[in-house]
Amino acid sequence: MVSTLAVPGTYPTLRDALEVAPDGAVVILAPGTYRERIDLAGRRLTVRASGDPGSAIVDASGLDGPALAVSSGDVEVDGLALVSDDYPAVAIGGGRVRLRRCELSAGYGAGLQADGGAMVDASEVRVVAGQHGFVFSDAGGTVESCEIRGVSDDGVIVRLGADPAIRGTKIGDCGYRGVYVYQSGRPVIERCDVSGTGDAGIVVAYASAVRIVETWVHQTSGPGIVIGAGCTAEVERCRVEETADPPVRVDPGATATVTLSDAGGLPTAGVVAAGAAQDAAEVERLLTELDSMIGLTGVKDEVRALIDEIQVNEWRRGAGLSVGAVSHHLIFTGAPGTGKTTVARIYGQLLKALGVLPNGRFREVSRRDLVGQYIGHTAEKTTSVFEDAMGGVLFIDEAYTLARAGGAAADFGQEAIDTLVKLMEDHRDQVAVIVAGYTQEMLDFLDANSGLASRFAKTMEFENYGPDELVMIADRIARQDDYIFAQGLPEALHHHFGQLEQSRNFGNAREARKLLEGMRKAQSGRLRAMGRMPSRDDLRTLMLADLQVATR
């Protein structure tokens, strides 16, 4: 049973309640002002206002610290107003903290400051005063449906590798920038509203990487969005207006893809518009990498045919000729270890080099990443994963598990499939979905939705490797790790692979890698037993005896 502690009431002060509260307890604050601080380390607690949001005020002004300080643990705070003066209203130095329906106010400090690997989930949080709104340093989490207004400096700062997802949040009337990302910050900024800033709306600097999606930047004293040298940015379907010129400024030393909506033409300097630029040298390099893969002759021919079609369509488009709609979604069938994931990665990079997709980023997921635990949760999870893969490749391994029969789990898997079908059609020019799995099971998967099969352009069959190819794979892996095969070992490997029954559980290339690992361990034992320091050749050479030990 959850322990509930009431303040005031059972406990006269908040501090009294926190000192005796067991892990998992809920501390309830009645409306009023509490001239105290909440300082928690390694605690698992919930602190909640009993009245309307903001009716319970924790005021730490003059108390030498933040109103809420968390250094580790798992803490939830709901409905409080948190006030400080020269400290952040909330300071999180580790652990996980959930803030719900809170109002934050600081003097010279930030509304919320998170560092030390902390994970912060903020929902419906308002920052009404402070030097900064939210500051993430080496921290992550989500900022959802929040509002930051009237701060004297930057609205949101993301730095030191921090990677929060900021969604549906309003940032306005800031004295300097709306969002400042620097020192390798990696946020996602999605469906936000940035306005009324004293300088630029969003600035990305110092080796940072940012994704800005469907965000409205307007009424800024400086440019709407600034991408600095050495940074990577994806600006997708954003609206930028009523800003200083240029609306979007991209340094020539940055790598950026920019698509704007309802805001006139795209900027030119340093910007690569989606679908507008091709890198012929990169295409050839990637095709050479594909050709260097062992086996897969049919798959290589299929990929080259797709690339040829894309290239010709671009030439036709440039000549003013009609070009039909083309799907980039694919089905990969075959056993594990046949190169499906590697080919999918190369395919995504090829689409990027051809200007078809903005980034070619590769996102690999499975059933657990798409299917939720209750009705409605699956559609939300699937949509979030799909949106995160926009601009690149979404690779769904063992996709047939979504169509498994049996109880509620099947319903949730079906919900994921139905959601994917709609998203694939709505965004077929913005993402490539590749589903992979055993051949027969993938046929069952396609039967799970009447519109599913039509969403895919092609099915590619990845055949099992034969003994010759497996020996070549083993040799390549060994040479990459500075090993060589002794005389007679390749023939013995060929015999070994030929004797293996390539059943459903046969691992193909993974089997070769696993066998080499066993041979290296056998070699280590053999060299240790020599009674002398092994030579360089000894250290490099795998012997027939090592294979015999590894397969014993």
Question: For the chain, how are helix, strand and coil distributed in percent, rounded to 5?
Answer: 30, 30, 40
447 with 359, same domain? yes
Is this structure's pTM higher than 0.85? no
- 254 pLDDT higher than 80: yes
pLDDT of residue 419 exceeding 50, the answer is: yes
- Name the token pair of 297: 């002759």
- Residue 3: band (very low, low, confident or very high) from pLDDT cuts 50, 70, 90: confident
440 domain residue, yes or no: yes
Question: Given pLDDT bands bounded at 50, 70 and 90, which one contains residue 402?
Answer: confident
Residues 2 and 111 in one domain: yes
pLDDT at 296: 81
Residues 146, 178: one domain?
no
Average pLDDT, stretch 387-403? 85
- pLDDT, mean of residues 72-101: 95
Instruction: Answer yes or no: is 166 within a domain.
Output: no
Same domain, 145 and 82: yes
* Domain count within the chain: 4
Whether pLDDT at 486 is above 80: yes
Which of the residue ranges 19-33, 167-181, 312-326, 398-412 would you say has the lowest mean pLDDT?
Answer: 398-412
Q: Given this model, what pLDDT does residue 507 score?
A: 53
pLDDT at residue number 267:
36
453 and 474 both lie in a single domain: no
pLDDT > 60? residue 226: yes
Is there a contact between 29 and 56 (Cβ–Cβ < 8 Å)?
yes
Q: Which helix (H) or strand (E) holds 59?
A: strand 56-59
Task: Over range 42-50, report the average pLDDT.
Answer: 94
Q: Which CATH number covers residue 364?
A: 3.40.50.300
The span from the CA of 350 to the CA of 284, in Å, is: 9
Domain boundary among 462, 482, 502: 462
Does residue 50 carry a pLDDT above 60?
yes
Q: Give yes or no for residue 114 having a pLDDT over 90.
A: yes
Residue 357 lies in a domain: yes
pLDDT tens profile 463-480: 888 888 888 888 888 888
Pair 458, 324 in one domain: yes
338 neighbors 465 (Cβ within 8 angstroms) = yes
Identify whether residues 238 and 319 lie together within a single domain: no
pLDDT confidence tier of residue 263, bands split at 50, 70 and 90: very low
The proportion of the chain whose per-residue pLDDT surpasses 90, expressed as a percent, equals 40
Distances (CA, A) of 470 to 283, 394, 466, 507: 28, 28, 6, 11
pLDDT of residue 186: 95
Where residue 90 sits, what CATH number does that domain have?
A: 2.160.20.10
Mean pLDDT of 84-112: 94
158 in a structural domain: no
* pLDDT at 86 > cutoff 80: yes
Cα 173 to Cα 128: distance, rounded to the nearest angstrom: 11
Q: What is the pLDDT of residues 539-550, one digit of tens each?
A: 888 989 888 888
Pairing of strands 90-92, 119-123: unpaired
Are 61 and 135 found together in one domain? yes
CA-CA distance, 95 to 434, in Å (whole number)?
A: 36
Cα distances (Å, whole numbers) of residue 274 to 209, 278, 350: 17, 10, 14
Q: What average pLDDT does the chain have?
A: 86
User: With 80 as the cut, is the pLDDT of residue 289 above it?
Assistant: yes
pLDDT band for position 276 (cuts 50, 70, 90): very low
Residue finishing a domain among 250, 272, 294: 272
Q: Are residues 199 and 295 in the same domain?
A: no
Question: Domain for residue 160, yes or no?
Answer: no
Q: Indicate the helix (H) or strand (E) that contains 547.
A: helix 544-550
Amino acid symbol at 231 = C
Q: Please indicate, yes or no, if residue 164 is contained in any of the structural domains.
A: no
What mean pLDDT comes out for the span 279-301?
Answer: 83
Mean pLDDT of 475-504: 81
Question: What CATH number should be reported for the domain holding residue 513?
Answer: 1.10.8.60
CA 80 to CA 116: how far, in whole Å? 24
pLDDT, position 139? 94
Indicate whether 324 and 438 sit together in one domain: yes
Could you tell me if 417 and 488 lie in one domain? Answer: no
Q: What is the pLDDT of residue 275?
A: 38
Within-domain flag for 165 = no
Which pLDDT does position 69 carry in this prediction?
96
**Domain around 81:** 1-152
Query: Please, where are the H alpha helices in 100-207?
Result: none
Q: Is residue 159 part of a domain?
A: no
338-387, pLDDT tens digit by residue? Answer: 888 889 889 888 888 887 887 778 888 888 888 877 666 788 888 888 88
pLDDT at 166: 97
| Residue scoring higher pLDDT (508 or 173) | 173
More confident residue, 227 or 511: 227
Q: Which helix (H) or strand (E) holds 476?
A: helix 467-480
For range 387-398, the mean pLDDT: 86
pLDDT value at 49 more than 90: yes
The pair of three-digit structure tokens given for residue 404, joined into one six-digit string: 């498994």
Model confidence band, residue 270 (pLDDT cutoffs 50, 70, 90): very low
Q: What's the average model confidence in pLDDT over 267-284?
A: 52
The pLDDT score that the predictor gives to residue 548 is 87
Q: Domain ends where: 427, 446, 462?
A: 462
Greater confidence, 325 or 132? 132
Tens digits of per-residue pLDDT, 440-467? 888 878 877 777 777 887 888 888 888 8
Could you tell me which residue, 277 or 282, shows the higher pLDDT? 282
The rounded distance, in Å, linking the Cα atoms of 342 and 291 is: 12
**Do 372 and 423 share a domain, yes or no?**
yes
| Model pLDDT for residues 136-157, shown as the tens digit of each residue | 999 999 999 999 998 999 999 9
CA separation for the pair 354, 347 (Å, rounded): 11
Task: Output the pLDDT for position 406.
Answer: 42
